Chain A
Amino acid sequence: EVQLVESGGDLVQPGGSLRLSCGASGFTFRNYSMNWVRQAPGKGLEWVSYISINSGTIYYADSVKGRFTISRDNAKNSLYLQMNSLRAEDTAVFYCARASGSSSRNAFDIWGQGTMVTVSS
């Protein structure tokens, strides 16, 4: 079964850091680009970041640029999101989402169940 499983969500204070992980199974992880997408409570979806198959191309939403870092380990079938200088407005469910191919223009065809990040004092 093709599956993505996120972990690492937690309650963190403003200004703090958190590292999210996403484990992939059931497909050849190294052949697909990956994304992080988030959803604030009761709100819509917001694309956060993209990483290509070999980590050579990385994009970020303006709202997280300079604070978040996406990475991947193809040997471990894992995707990561290092989040620093967290703000209250970063509170959201974070989903990892597979791109349907190796391009940044591919739609998000497989989603994890999400992990909740709460930024509050």
Chain B
Amino acid sequence: QSALTQPASVSGSPGQSITISCTGTSSDVGGYNYVSWYQQHPDKAPKLMIYDVTNRPSGVSNRFSGSKSGNTASLTISGLQAEDEADYYCSSYTSSSTRWVFGGGTKLTVL
């Protein structure tokens, strides 16, 4: 069982917006602004999409945005495109001895 809770799957049609949630505790998501999101296509390495809750690395489309409220972080993808179909993982720094925790991943299907 993963430390952070994500929905197993979400779907949307091209052009639509979707939001993936990531729920933790006050020891991780709620306690720090060190939430990040990763995109992983099949048999590929993960790619950083959002860091420090809301920041996008250079080169990542502005269709991707992040937010946080309490112990839940969210990734929103607007204007869905076929290439967005992938697995998405949230991660958070934690005060526990395990410094970083991940969510179980969410499979995004673009219909």
Contact = CB atoms under 8 A, between A and B. Distances in A.
A107 B48 contact: yes
Interface stretch (B9-17, B19-27, B71-79, B96-104): B96-104
B64 interface: no
Contacts of B104: 44
Given A44-B89, A47-B98, A109-B57, 14 more contacts: A37-B46, A44-B103, A44-B105, A45-B89, A45-B105, A47-B99, A47-B101, A47-B102, A50-B99, A95-B46, A100-B57, A104-B99, A108-B48, A111-B45
Interface string B26-64: 000000101010100000011110011000010000000
Nearest to B57: A109
> Contact size class for A?
20 to 34
A44 B2 contact: yes
A45 B91 contact: yes
B98 A62 contact: yes
Interface string A91-121: 0000101001000111111011110000000
B99 A59 contact: yes
A45 B102 contact: yes
A110 B97 CA distance: 24
Nearest to B52: A107
A113 to B, nearest CB: 6
Contacts of A107: 34, 36, 48, 51-52, 91
Contact of B38 (A45, A62, A106, A112): A45
Contact of A62 (B48, B93, B97): B97
Of residues A35, A104, A111, which shows the largest number of chain B Cβ atoms within 10 Å of its Cβ? A111
A89 interface: no
B56 to A, nearest CB: 11
B46 to A, nearest CB: 6
A11 interface: no
A10 B101 CA distance: 26
